[in-house]
Amino acid sequence: MRIGGSTMKRKLLAIFFFLLLGLLVFAQPAFKMGSGQAAADSPSFPRALVSVVMDDGWKSQATGALPRMNAKGIKATAYIVTKYIEDGYEGYMTLADLQTIKASGHEIASHSVTHRDLTKLSPPELTTELRDSKAWLEGKGLGPVYDFACPFGEYNEATIKETKNFYLSQREGWSWPDDVNTAANFRPYMIRVKQVWPWTNAAEVESWMEEAKAKKAWVVIIYHRVEVLDPSHPSYPYSISPDNFEAHLQAIRDSGVASVTVKEALDEVKTYVKYTVTASVSGGGGSVSPPSQTVDCLDGATVNISPEAGNGVASIVDNGEAVPGPYGSSYSIVRVGEDHEVLVTFQPVSQILKVTKVSPNQAWQFAFSADLTVEGTGFVDGAAVKLEKNGVSIPGLGVSVASSTRLTCSVWTFGAEPGEYDVVVSNPGGAQASLSKGFRINPVCGMGSGSAMLMMGITLGLLSLAGSLRLRRKRGR
Protein backbone atom coordinates (compact mmCIF):
# COMPACT_ATOMS: atom_id res chain seq x y z
CA MET A 1 0.00 0.00 0.00
CA ARG A 2 2.79 2.33 0.84
CA ILE A 3 4.41 1.70 -2.61
CA GLY A 4 1.12 2.22 -4.47
CA GLY A 5 0.36 5.32 -2.42
CA SER A 6 3.81 6.69 -3.20
CA THR A 7 3.35 6.13 -6.91
CA MET A 8 -0.03 7.86 -6.86
CA LYS A 9 1.49 10.81 -5.04
CA ARG A 10 4.26 11.08 -7.66
CA LYS A 11 1.69 10.98 -10.48
CA LEU A 12 -0.40 13.68 -8.82
CA LEU A 13 2.76 15.73 -8.25
CA ALA A 14 3.74 15.40 -11.90
CA ILE A 15 0.26 16.46 -13.04
CA PHE A 16 0.45 19.45 -10.69
CA PHE A 17 3.79 20.59 -12.14
CA PHE A 18 2.56 20.24 -15.73
CA LEU A 19 -0.54 22.25 -14.89
CA LEU A 20 1.60 24.91 -13.18
CA LEU A 21 3.94 25.08 -16.18
CA GLY A 22 0.97 25.46 -18.50
CA LEU A 23 -0.46 28.25 -16.41
CA LEU A 24 2.85 30.06 -16.45
CA VAL A 25 3.16 29.73 -20.22
CA PHE A 26 -0.39 30.97 -20.86
CA ALA A 27 -0.10 33.67 -18.23
CA GLN A 28 3.05 35.11 -19.83
CA PRO A 29 1.29 36.94 -22.71
CA ALA A 30 -1.45 38.15 -20.41
CA PHE A 31 1.14 39.47 -17.94
CA LYS A 32 2.99 41.28 -20.69
CA MET A 33 -0.24 42.76 -22.01
CA GLY A 34 -1.17 44.00 -18.57
CA SER A 35 2.24 45.62 -18.13
CA GLY A 36 2.01 47.20 -21.54
CA GLN A 37 -1.42 48.63 -20.77
CA ALA A 38 -0.15 50.06 -17.51
CA ALA A 39 2.79 51.63 -19.31
CA ALA A 40 0.47 53.05 -21.96
CA ASP A 41 -1.77 54.55 -19.28
CA SER A 42 1.08 56.02 -17.21
CA PRO A 43 1.22 59.82 -17.72
CA SER A 44 4.12 61.49 -19.51
CA PHE A 45 4.96 64.87 -20.96
CA PRO A 46 5.00 65.05 -24.77
CA ARG A 47 8.69 65.99 -24.92
CA ALA A 48 11.79 66.70 -22.84
CA LEU A 49 12.36 70.22 -21.50
CA VAL A 50 15.21 72.01 -19.74
CA SER A 51 15.17 75.28 -17.80
CA VAL A 52 18.32 77.12 -16.74
CA VAL A 53 17.61 79.09 -13.57
CA MET A 54 19.78 81.60 -11.70
CA ASP A 55 19.29 82.54 -8.06
CA ASP A 56 19.73 85.66 -5.93
CA GLY A 57 20.67 88.23 -8.59
CA TRP A 58 24.48 88.06 -8.62
CA LYS A 59 26.26 90.54 -10.94
CA SER A 60 28.09 87.72 -12.71
CA GLN A 61 24.74 86.45 -14.03
CA ALA A 62 24.60 89.61 -16.17
CA THR A 63 28.30 89.75 -17.06
CA GLY A 64 29.28 86.06 -17.24
CA ALA A 65 26.05 84.20 -17.98
CA LEU A 66 23.80 86.45 -20.06
CA PRO A 67 26.09 86.97 -23.11
CA ARG A 68 26.79 83.22 -23.33
CA MET A 69 23.10 82.27 -23.02
CA ASN A 70 22.09 84.79 -25.66
CA ALA A 71 24.82 83.56 -28.03
CA LYS A 72 23.65 79.96 -27.77
CA GLY A 73 19.90 80.63 -27.70
CA ILE A 74 19.42 79.23 -24.20
CA LYS A 75 16.58 80.72 -22.16
CA ALA A 76 16.76 81.31 -18.41
CA THR A 77 14.68 82.35 -15.42
CA ALA A 78 16.35 84.68 -12.91
CA TYR A 79 14.99 84.47 -9.35
CA ILE A 80 15.70 87.82 -7.69
CA VAL A 81 16.06 88.86 -4.04
CA THR A 82 14.64 92.34 -4.48
CA LYS A 83 16.25 93.97 -1.43
CA TYR A 84 19.70 93.20 -2.86
CA ILE A 85 18.84 95.11 -6.05
CA GLU A 86 16.81 97.91 -4.49
CA ASP A 87 19.50 98.80 -1.94
CA GLY A 88 22.40 98.31 -4.34
CA TYR A 89 24.18 95.49 -2.51
CA GLU A 90 27.77 95.03 -3.66
CA GLY A 91 28.24 92.10 -6.02
CA TYR A 92 24.63 92.07 -7.21
CA MET A 93 22.92 93.26 -10.37
CA THR A 94 21.39 96.67 -10.92
CA LEU A 95 17.88 97.41 -12.09
CA ALA A 96 19.33 98.14 -15.53
CA ASP A 97 20.87 94.63 -15.59
CA LEU A 98 17.48 93.07 -14.84
CA GLN A 99 15.85 95.14 -17.55
CA THR A 100 18.46 93.90 -20.03
CA ILE A 101 17.81 90.28 -19.02
CA LYS A 102 14.06 90.78 -19.44
CA ALA A 103 14.50 92.50 -22.82
CA SER A 104 16.65 89.56 -24.01
CA GLY A 105 13.66 87.20 -23.72
CA HIS A 106 14.44 85.69 -20.33
CA GLU A 107 12.06 85.49 -17.36
CA ILE A 108 12.30 87.42 -14.09
CA ALA A 109 10.93 85.61 -11.03
CA SER A 110 10.88 86.18 -7.28
CA HIS A 111 13.24 84.86 -4.60
CA SER A 112 11.66 86.93 -1.76
CA VAL A 113 12.51 90.40 -0.44
CA THR A 114 15.33 89.61 2.01
CA HIS A 115 16.13 85.89 1.53
CA ARG A 116 14.95 84.78 4.97
CA ASP A 117 13.81 81.27 5.92
CA LEU A 118 10.05 81.52 5.29
CA THR A 119 9.25 78.71 7.73
CA LYS A 120 10.51 80.84 10.64
CA LEU A 121 8.47 83.96 9.89
CA SER A 122 5.21 85.20 11.39
CA PRO A 123 2.20 85.22 9.02
CA PRO A 124 2.49 88.98 8.30
CA GLU A 125 6.24 88.65 7.66
CA LEU A 126 5.64 85.71 5.32
CA THR A 127 3.06 87.69 3.35
CA THR A 128 5.42 90.66 3.10
CA GLU A 129 8.26 88.54 1.69
CA LEU A 130 6.00 87.01 -0.95
CA ARG A 131 3.83 89.99 -1.85
CA ASP A 132 6.35 92.83 -1.78
CA SER A 133 9.03 91.10 -3.88
CA LYS A 134 6.48 90.46 -6.62
CA ALA A 135 5.12 94.01 -6.35
CA TRP A 136 8.60 95.57 -6.58
CA LEU A 137 9.59 93.57 -9.66
CA GLU A 138 6.32 94.28 -11.45
CA GLY A 139 6.47 97.93 -10.42
CA LYS A 140 9.82 98.18 -12.22
CA GLY A 141 8.40 96.76 -15.44
CA LEU A 142 9.93 93.30 -14.98
CA GLY A 143 6.65 91.39 -14.78
CA PRO A 144 4.31 89.72 -14.92
CA VAL A 145 5.97 87.68 -12.16
CA TYR A 146 4.52 84.17 -12.00
CA ASP A 147 7.14 82.02 -10.30
CA PHE A 148 8.87 81.84 -6.91
CA ALA A 149 11.86 80.05 -5.36
CA CYS A 150 11.86 79.63 -1.59
CA PRO A 151 15.06 80.83 0.14
CA PHE A 152 17.34 78.01 1.35
CA GLY A 153 14.85 75.56 -0.19
CA GLU A 154 12.83 75.71 3.04
CA TYR A 155 9.03 75.46 2.96
CA ASN A 156 6.08 73.84 4.74
CA GLU A 157 2.31 73.58 4.33
CA ALA A 158 1.77 77.12 5.66
CA THR A 159 4.29 78.73 3.32
CA ILE A 160 2.97 76.83 0.30
CA LYS A 161 -0.58 77.91 1.11
CA GLU A 162 0.48 81.57 1.21
CA THR A 163 2.68 81.22 -1.87
CA LYS A 164 -0.39 80.08 -3.83
CA ASN A 165 -1.94 83.50 -3.20
CA PHE A 166 0.76 85.21 -5.27
CA TYR A 167 2.49 82.73 -7.60
CA LEU A 168 1.73 79.89 -10.00
CA SER A 169 4.73 77.84 -8.90
CA GLN A 170 7.42 77.35 -6.28
CA ARG A 171 10.81 75.87 -7.03
CA GLU A 172 12.95 73.71 -4.73
CA GLY A 173 16.47 74.77 -3.74
CA TRP A 174 18.28 71.43 -3.50
CA SER A 175 18.69 68.23 -5.48
CA TRP A 176 17.01 65.12 -4.13
CA PRO A 177 16.67 61.57 -5.42
CA ASP A 178 14.45 61.47 -8.50
CA ASP A 179 15.27 65.12 -9.18
CA VAL A 180 13.59 65.51 -12.58
CA ASN A 181 9.97 66.55 -13.08
CA THR A 182 7.70 64.04 -14.81
CA ALA A 183 3.96 63.87 -15.30
CA ALA A 184 3.85 61.19 -12.60
CA ASN A 185 5.64 63.19 -9.88
CA PHE A 186 5.00 66.81 -10.88
CA ARG A 187 3.97 69.25 -8.13
CA PRO A 188 3.86 72.93 -9.20
CA TYR A 189 4.78 74.14 -5.70
CA MET A 190 7.62 71.63 -5.29
CA ILE A 191 9.40 71.83 -8.64
CA ARG A 192 12.44 69.52 -8.58
CA VAL A 193 15.92 70.72 -9.48
CA LYS A 194 19.49 69.69 -10.23
CA GLN A 195 22.10 71.66 -8.31
CA VAL A 196 25.31 72.75 -10.04
CA TRP A 197 28.67 72.76 -8.22
CA PRO A 198 32.07 74.09 -9.36
CA TRP A 199 33.06 70.56 -10.37
CA THR A 200 29.89 69.80 -12.36
CA ASN A 201 31.16 69.19 -15.89
CA ALA A 202 29.57 69.09 -19.34
CA ALA A 203 29.50 65.28 -19.38
CA GLU A 204 27.21 65.31 -16.34
CA VAL A 205 24.92 67.84 -18.00
CA GLU A 206 24.84 65.59 -21.07
CA SER A 207 23.68 62.71 -18.87
CA TRP A 208 20.92 64.93 -17.47
CA MET A 209 19.75 65.70 -20.99
CA GLU A 210 19.73 61.99 -21.86
CA GLU A 211 17.66 61.35 -18.75
CA ALA A 212 15.24 64.09 -19.79
CA LYS A 213 14.79 62.53 -23.24
CA ALA A 214 14.42 59.00 -21.88
CA LYS A 215 11.77 60.01 -19.36
CA LYS A 216 10.22 62.89 -21.34
CA ALA A 217 10.98 64.93 -18.25
CA TRP A 218 11.47 68.60 -17.38
CA VAL A 219 14.95 69.22 -15.97
CA VAL A 220 15.63 72.42 -14.00
CA ILE A 221 19.30 73.35 -13.46
CA ILE A 222 20.27 75.91 -10.76
CA TYR A 223 23.19 78.32 -11.10
CA HIS A 224 24.31 81.09 -8.75
CA ARG A 225 27.63 82.84 -9.42
CA VAL A 226 29.09 82.46 -12.92
CA GLU A 227 32.66 83.52 -12.10
CA VAL A 228 35.95 82.11 -10.89
CA LEU A 229 36.18 82.12 -7.10
CA ASP A 230 38.92 80.92 -4.83
CA PRO A 231 38.04 77.63 -3.10
CA SER A 232 38.38 79.44 0.24
CA HIS A 233 35.60 81.89 -0.71
CA PRO A 234 32.29 81.29 1.17
CA SER A 235 30.37 81.30 -2.12
CA TYR A 236 32.76 78.94 -3.93
CA PRO A 237 30.43 75.89 -3.70
CA TYR A 238 27.75 77.91 -5.51
CA SER A 239 30.01 79.15 -8.29
CA ILE A 240 31.03 77.91 -11.71
CA SER A 241 33.63 79.29 -14.10
CA PRO A 242 32.34 81.08 -17.22
CA ASP A 243 34.13 78.54 -19.45
CA ASN A 244 32.52 75.61 -17.65
CA PHE A 245 29.13 77.35 -17.81
CA GLU A 246 29.55 77.77 -21.56
CA ALA A 247 30.36 74.06 -21.87
CA HIS A 248 27.12 73.29 -20.00
CA LEU A 249 25.16 75.47 -22.43
CA GLN A 250 26.78 73.73 -25.39
CA ALA A 251 25.81 70.34 -23.95
CA ILE A 252 22.21 71.53 -23.60
CA ARG A 253 22.17 72.91 -27.14
CA ASP A 254 23.72 69.78 -28.66
CA SER A 255 21.20 67.52 -26.87
CA GLY A 256 18.25 68.93 -28.79
CA VAL A 257 16.22 69.22 -25.56
CA ALA A 258 13.95 72.28 -25.73
CA SER A 259 15.29 75.18 -23.65
CA VAL A 260 12.41 77.12 -22.03
CA THR A 261 11.77 79.48 -19.15
CA VAL A 262 10.02 78.16 -16.05
CA LYS A 263 6.76 79.88 -17.03
CA GLU A 264 6.92 78.43 -20.54
CA ALA A 265 7.54 74.96 -19.13
CA LEU A 266 4.71 75.34 -16.65
CA ASP A 267 2.30 76.35 -19.40
CA GLU A 268 3.26 73.28 -21.39
CA VAL A 269 3.38 70.56 -18.72
CA LYS A 270 0.38 71.51 -16.59
CA THR A 271 -2.06 70.43 -19.30
CA TYR A 272 -0.79 66.85 -18.91
CA VAL A 273 -1.13 66.67 -15.13
CA LYS A 274 -4.33 65.94 -13.23
CA TYR A 275 -5.04 65.44 -9.53
CA THR A 276 -7.80 63.72 -7.59
CA VAL A 277 -9.77 65.47 -4.85
CA THR A 278 -11.83 63.10 -2.70
CA ALA A 279 -14.29 64.13 0.00
CA SER A 280 -15.93 62.06 2.74
CA VAL A 281 -17.83 62.39 6.02
CA SER A 282 -16.72 61.10 9.40
CA GLY A 283 -19.57 59.76 11.54
CA GLY A 284 -22.60 60.91 9.56
CA GLY A 285 -24.78 63.94 10.22
CA GLY A 286 -24.56 65.29 6.69
CA SER A 287 -23.14 64.77 3.23
CA VAL A 288 -20.49 66.13 0.86
CA SER A 289 -20.35 66.24 -2.91
CA PRO A 290 -18.84 65.30 -5.21
CA PRO A 291 -17.19 62.36 -3.45
CA SER A 292 -14.41 62.41 -6.02
CA GLN A 293 -13.35 64.82 -8.75
CA THR A 294 -10.47 65.03 -11.20
CA VAL A 295 -8.87 68.47 -11.38
CA ASP A 296 -6.42 69.90 -13.88
CA CYS A 297 -3.12 71.16 -12.48
CA LEU A 298 -3.48 74.65 -10.93
CA ASP A 299 -7.26 74.70 -11.37
CA GLY A 300 -9.53 75.13 -8.35
CA ALA A 301 -11.79 72.56 -6.68
CA THR A 302 -14.94 72.97 -4.57
CA VAL A 303 -16.50 70.49 -2.13
CA ASN A 304 -20.16 71.14 -1.34
CA ILE A 305 -21.16 70.57 2.29
CA SER A 306 -24.74 69.74 3.37
CA PRO A 307 -25.42 69.18 7.10
CA GLU A 308 -28.61 67.41 8.13
CA ALA A 309 -31.28 69.39 10.00
CA GLY A 310 -29.99 70.48 13.43
CA ASN A 311 -26.36 69.82 12.53
CA GLY A 312 -23.48 71.98 11.48
CA VAL A 313 -19.88 71.57 10.35
CA ALA A 314 -17.63 70.75 13.31
CA SER A 315 -14.33 70.44 11.42
CA ILE A 316 -12.72 70.09 8.00
CA VAL A 317 -9.42 68.27 7.56
CA ASP A 318 -7.53 68.48 4.26
CA ASN A 319 -4.64 66.04 3.76
CA GLY A 320 -4.35 65.63 7.51
CA GLU A 321 -4.25 69.38 8.20
CA ALA A 322 -7.08 71.01 10.15
CA VAL A 323 -8.77 73.82 8.21
CA PRO A 324 -9.55 76.81 10.47
CA GLY A 325 -13.20 77.84 10.72
CA PRO A 326 -15.69 79.38 10.44
CA TYR A 327 -17.17 77.00 7.86
CA GLY A 328 -19.77 77.62 5.19
CA SER A 329 -21.73 75.48 2.75
CA SER A 330 -18.64 74.69 0.67
CA TYR A 331 -14.88 74.26 0.94
CA SER A 332 -12.64 75.51 -1.87
CA ILE A 333 -9.07 74.63 -2.78
CA VAL A 334 -7.24 77.18 -4.93
CA ARG A 335 -4.59 76.21 -7.48
CA VAL A 336 -4.62 72.48 -6.89
CA GLY A 337 -1.09 71.12 -7.07
CA GLU A 338 -1.44 67.66 -5.48
CA ASP A 339 -4.04 65.03 -4.61
CA HIS A 340 -6.36 66.04 -1.75
CA GLU A 341 -8.34 63.99 0.77
CA VAL A 342 -10.97 66.13 2.48
CA LEU A 343 -12.70 64.85 5.62
CA VAL A 344 -15.73 66.68 7.04
CA THR A 345 -17.18 66.10 10.51
CA PHE A 346 -20.70 67.17 11.50
CA GLN A 347 -22.14 67.72 14.98
CA PRO A 348 -25.37 68.98 16.50
CA VAL A 349 -25.34 72.77 16.40
CA SER A 350 -25.33 72.93 20.21
CA GLN A 351 -22.02 71.01 20.27
CA ILE A 352 -20.20 72.91 17.52
CA LEU A 353 -17.34 75.08 18.69
CA LYS A 354 -18.37 78.71 18.75
CA VAL A 355 -17.27 81.81 20.68
CA THR A 356 -20.08 84.25 21.47
CA LYS A 357 -18.92 86.44 24.35
CA VAL A 358 -15.83 87.45 26.31
CA SER A 359 -15.89 89.27 29.61
CA PRO A 360 -14.32 91.55 30.44
CA ASN A 361 -13.85 92.57 26.83
CA GLN A 362 -11.03 95.05 27.44
CA ALA A 363 -8.03 95.78 29.65
CA TRP A 364 -5.28 98.38 30.06
CA GLN A 365 -1.66 97.80 29.15
CA PHE A 366 -0.52 98.53 32.70
CA ALA A 367 -2.93 96.00 34.19
CA PHE A 368 -0.31 93.21 33.87
CA SER A 369 -2.97 90.57 33.12
CA ALA A 370 -6.69 90.09 32.68
CA ASP A 371 -8.86 87.19 33.84
CA LEU A 372 -11.25 86.28 31.05
CA THR A 373 -14.49 84.33 30.94
CA VAL A 374 -15.23 83.01 27.46
CA GLU A 375 -18.74 81.88 26.56
CA GLY A 376 -19.93 79.88 23.60
CA THR A 377 -20.56 76.24 22.66
CA GLY A 378 -18.54 73.11 22.04
CA PHE A 379 -15.72 73.71 24.55
CA VAL A 380 -13.92 70.50 25.59
CA ASP A 381 -11.13 69.66 28.02
CA GLY A 382 -7.76 70.58 26.59
CA ALA A 383 -9.08 73.64 24.75
CA ALA A 384 -6.58 76.46 24.12
CA VAL A 385 -7.21 80.19 24.01
CA LYS A 386 -5.24 83.02 22.39
CA LEU A 387 -5.66 86.65 21.41
CA GLU A 388 -4.61 87.46 17.83
CA LYS A 389 -4.08 90.70 15.92
CA ASN A 390 -2.08 91.11 12.71
CA GLY A 391 0.23 88.24 13.52
CA VAL A 392 0.62 89.20 17.19
CA SER A 393 -0.47 86.31 19.42
CA ILE A 394 -1.04 86.37 23.18
CA PRO A 395 -1.63 82.88 24.63
CA GLY A 396 -4.27 82.23 27.28
CA LEU A 397 -2.78 80.94 30.55
CA GLY A 398 -4.35 78.48 32.95
CA VAL A 399 -7.27 77.58 30.68
CA SER A 400 -10.04 75.87 32.64
CA VAL A 401 -13.09 74.43 30.88
CA ALA A 402 -16.00 74.75 33.29
CA SER A 403 -18.55 73.36 30.82
CA SER A 404 -19.17 73.02 27.12
CA THR A 405 -20.41 76.62 27.14
CA ARG A 406 -17.95 78.34 29.48
CA LEU A 407 -14.20 78.48 30.09
CA THR A 408 -11.81 80.80 31.93
CA CYS A 409 -8.20 81.84 31.45
CA SER A 410 -5.76 84.70 32.01
CA VAL A 411 -3.91 86.76 29.39
CA TRP A 412 -0.80 88.86 29.86
CA THR A 413 -1.54 92.45 28.77
CA PHE A 414 1.35 94.39 30.28
CA GLY A 415 3.27 96.08 27.47
CA ALA A 416 1.21 94.35 24.77
CA GLU A 417 0.43 96.07 21.49
CA PRO A 418 -2.78 98.10 21.96
CA GLY A 419 -5.80 97.49 19.74
CA GLU A 420 -8.60 95.03 19.07
CA TYR A 421 -7.81 91.31 19.17
CA ASP A 422 -9.69 88.27 17.92
CA VAL A 423 -10.39 85.76 20.69
CA VAL A 424 -9.53 82.32 19.31
CA VAL A 425 -10.48 79.01 20.94
CA SER A 426 -9.03 75.71 19.63
CA ASN A 427 -10.18 72.25 20.65
CA PRO A 428 -7.96 69.17 20.53
CA GLY A 429 -8.26 67.69 17.05
CA GLY A 430 -8.03 70.99 15.20
CA ALA A 431 -11.51 72.56 15.51
CA GLN A 432 -11.15 76.32 15.90
CA ALA A 433 -13.52 79.25 16.39
CA SER A 434 -13.01 82.93 17.06
CA LEU A 435 -14.83 86.07 18.12
CA SER A 436 -13.66 88.84 15.81
CA LYS A 437 -12.35 91.87 17.74
CA GLY A 438 -13.68 90.32 20.92
CA PHE A 439 -11.08 91.87 23.24
CA ARG A 440 -9.40 95.26 23.34
CA ILE A 441 -6.14 96.28 24.97
CA ASN A 442 -6.23 100.01 25.70
CA PRO A 443 -3.05 102.11 25.52
CA VAL A 444 -1.81 103.71 28.71
CA CYS A 445 -1.23 107.14 27.19
CA GLY A 446 -1.71 107.79 23.51
CA MET A 447 -1.56 105.07 20.88
CA GLY A 448 1.30 102.73 20.08
CA SER A 449 3.69 100.40 21.76
CA GLY A 450 6.14 103.25 22.47
CA SER A 451 3.86 104.59 25.20
CA ALA A 452 3.47 101.08 26.52
CA MET A 453 7.22 100.72 26.84
CA LEU A 454 7.42 104.15 28.49
CA MET A 455 4.83 103.16 31.07
CA MET A 456 6.56 99.81 31.54
CA GLY A 457 9.81 101.65 32.30
CA ILE A 458 8.09 104.01 34.72
CA THR A 459 6.32 101.15 36.47
CA LEU A 460 9.47 99.08 36.79
CA GLY A 461 11.30 102.14 38.07
CA LEU A 462 8.66 102.74 40.74
CA LEU A 463 8.74 99.10 41.76
CA SER A 464 12.52 99.24 42.05
CA LEU A 465 12.33 102.43 44.10
CA ALA A 466 9.72 100.90 46.41
CA GLY A 467 11.90 97.85 46.93
CA SER A 468 14.91 100.02 47.69
CA LEU A 469 12.94 102.04 50.27
CA ARG A 470 11.77 98.86 51.99
CA LEU A 471 15.36 97.62 52.16
CA ARG A 472 16.53 100.87 53.71
CA ARG A 473 13.79 100.72 56.35
CA LYS A 474 14.87 97.20 57.29
CA ARG A 475 18.49 98.27 57.59
CA GLY A 476 17.47 101.31 59.66
CA ARG A 477 15.78 99.04 62.16
- Is residue 321 within 8 Å of 158, Cβ to Cβ? no
Q: DSSP string spanning 44-96?
A: --SS-EEEEEEEETBTHIIIIIHHHHHHHT--EEEEE-HHHHHTT-TTB--HH
Tell whether 258 and 375 lie within a shared domain: no
**Is 90 exceeded by the pLDDT of residue 35?**
no
Boundary residue ending a domain (225, 249, 271): 271
The whole domain housing 311 covers 273-348
Residue 474 lies inside a defined structural domain of this protein: no
Residue 18 lies inside a defined structural domain of this protein: no
Boundary residue ending a domain (287, 314, 348): 348
- What is the average per-residue pLDDT within 384-392? 91
Tell whether 139 and 109 lie within a shared domain: yes
pTM above the 0.75 mark? no
Tell whether 57 and 128 lie within a shared domain: yes
**Is 70 exceeded by the pLDDT of residue 159?**
yes
Boundary residue ending a domain (250, 271, 292): 271
When pLDDT is cut at 50, 70 and 90, the band that residue 377 belongs to is very high
**Which residues are registered as beta bridge partners of 304?**
289, 330
**Is 70 exceeded by the pLDDT of residue 315?**
yes
More confident residue, 312 or 44: 312
pLDDT of residue 2: 33
Tell whether 77 and 154 lie within a shared domain: yes
Tell whether 228 and 337 lie within a shared domain: no
Instruction: Give the domain CATH number at 183.
Output: 3.20.20.370
When pLDDT is cut at 50, 70 and 90, the band that residue 176 belongs to is confident
Tell whether 72 and 201 lie within a shared domain: yes
User: Residue 403: how many CA atoms within 13 Å on its side-chain side?
Assistant: 6
Alpha-carbon span 65 to 63, nearest angstrom: 6
Q: What residues have CB less than 8 Å from 398, skipping those under 6 apart?
A: 408, 409, 410
- What is the average per-residue pLDDT within 404-421? 94
Residue 466 lies inside a defined structural domain of this protein: no
Alpha-carbon span 51 to 74, nearest angstrom: 9
- Is residue 282 within 8 Å of 344, Cβ to Cβ? yes
Alpha-carbon span 458 to 377, nearest angstrom: 42
Q: Round the average pLDDT of the chain to a whole number and report it.
A: 87
Tell whether 343 and 264 lie within a shared domain: no
For the chain, what percent of residues have pLDDT higher than 70? 84
pLDDT of residue 308: 96
Alpha-carbon span 170 to 189, nearest angstrom: 4
- What is the average per-residue pLDDT within 349-363? 93
More confident residue, 174 or 191: 191
pLDDT of residue 461: 56
pLDDT of residue 462: 56
Residue 401 lies inside a defined structural domain of this protein: yes
Domain count, the chain: 3
- What is the average per-residue pLDDT within 5-20? 37
pLDDT in tens, 50-92: 999 999 999 999 999 999 999 999 999 999 999 999 999 999 9
- What is the average per-residue pLDDT within 175-184? 89
- What is the average per-residue pLDDT within 90-115? 98
Tell whether 265 and 277 lie within a shared domain: no
Tell whether 261 and 304 lie within a shared domain: no
Burial class (CB in 10 A: 0-12, 13-18, 19+), 57: buried
Tell whether 150 and 229 lie within a shared domain: yes
pLDDT of residue 467: 56
Residue 71 lies inside a defined structural domain of this protein: yes
When pLDDT is cut at 50, 70 and 90, the band that residue 466 belongs to is low
More confident residue, 260 or 122: 260
pLDDT of residue 472: 52
Tell whether 228 and 313 lie within a shared domain: no
Which run of H or E residues covers position 464? helix 449-476
Cis peptide before 307 (omega within 30 of 0): no
Instruction: Give the domain CATH number at 378.
Output: 2.60.40.10
Alpha-carbon span 184 to 273, nearest angstrom: 8
User: Residue 98: how many CA atoms within 13 Å on its side-chain side?
Assistant: 29
Tell whether 107 and 224 lie within a shared domain: yes
Residue 31 lies inside a defined structural domain of this protein: no
Residue 62 lies inside a defined structural domain of this protein: yes
Residue 459 lies inside a defined structural domain of this protein: no
pLDDT of residue 38: 29
